Amino acid sequence: MFVPQAAFQRRTNIESWRSTNLWAVLLWQLNEIWPTGGWGSIEYGTPVNGQVIGGRWKPLHYFLKNSAYADVTASCGAARSTTNDAGNVTTGTMLCYLRNDLAKPFQGQVVVRAVNFVTGTVVNSTAGTATLAAGGGSTAFFCPSGPFLLQQGQPDGCSTFAEFFNATKCGPAGGEHCVLEVGVYNSDGTTMAQSTMPLGNPEFMKLPIAKLTLEVLTDAKDGTIRVQVSSSATALYVWLSTKAQGRFSDNAFTVLAGGTVIVDFVPFNRVQTTADTLKASLRVEHLGQYVGAIRDQ
């Protein structure tokens, strides 16, 4: 499984729509028979060898959970004044929003940063404390770089994409060298939303050659199994898969150069699925295996 273009498009569309006075998005479709990219966000699970009963999560389902359908979420893109599907334009003025659909006020932190996968550097472009009234649909806007300031309308003086690329040291190549990470965190540090947003066509990203290693840690008391992923260079949209019956707590994530990420595997049957069962078929992929330095060789 690799992250299909449809997953990026559908996540970005939903996030774009939620910046407007939109109250519901009906997703078509939940599951499908195809174990590859398609309209469905879950692989249809039948009692056939290699399939997960109940459905293996596809990249889109993780995108929906982590940001697009999160109760409190934030996103950035090209500033728009009408409700449209999100496009692939990286020119003109940028704009970000924060939205709270909880039945209680939100107070926490918002962090926007640019990850340069060529140099391995990370630049925080803006960050700050945010407060929003109880939802639904409580929304405010802010600029993706500079001092963090929430406003009810579109702020004046937000950077253009070119200015953002220059300020975050992405250079003229922009999306060929950087992705945008947007995170929302509760006052206790809990992650409310997290997304890695491409700033250009992934096909043309100058991704480095990254060597990833996996370590399956001991079973936790609640039956989950921890998996540690390490990488020699920045790896984007890291994807874990297994024949074991269950799902990962996160997937299609970023591992920074020399860094590690720990995710949980949540078994659907906690008696039959052990660390050894998971390890027997565990595999890892990432975007750099198909584009970037590997492709250019």
> Which has more confidence, 26 or 100?
100
Res. 25 pLDDT band, cuts 50 70 90? confident
pTM: 0.93
Contact 59, 251 (CB under 8 A): yes
Under the phi-then-psi rule, with left for phi > 0, alpha for psi from -120 to 50, and beta for the rest, what region is 30? alpha
Dihedral in degrees, nearest 10, Cα atoms 297, 165, 13, 74 = 120
Residue 89 reports pLDDT greater than 70? no
φ, ψ dihedrals at 186, nearest 5°: -70, 170
State the Cα–Cα distance between residues 136 and 134, nearest whole angstrom.
7
Per residue in 144-163, pLDDT (tens digit) is 999 999 999 889 999 999 99
Pairing of strands 42-43, 31-32: parallel
Residue 55 reports pLDDT greater than 90? no
Residue 1 reports pLDDT greater than 60? no
Other Cβ atoms less than 10 A from the Cβ of 48: the count is 7
Q: H or E element: which one contains 279?
A: helix 275-281
How much is the pLDDT for 296? 57
Other Cβ atoms less than 10 A from the Cβ of 133: the count is 11
Res. 295 pLDDT band, cuts 50 70 90? low
For the chain, the average pLDDT equals 89
Query: Of 48-57, 75-84, 103-112, 213-222, which has the strongest mean pLDDT?
Result: 103-112
Res. 83 pLDDT band, cuts 50 70 90? very low
Residue 38 reports pLDDT greater than 90? no
Other Cβ atoms less than 10 A from the Cβ of 234: the count is 25
Q: Which of 18-27, 34-43, 71-80, 168-177 has the lowest mean pLDDT?
A: 34-43
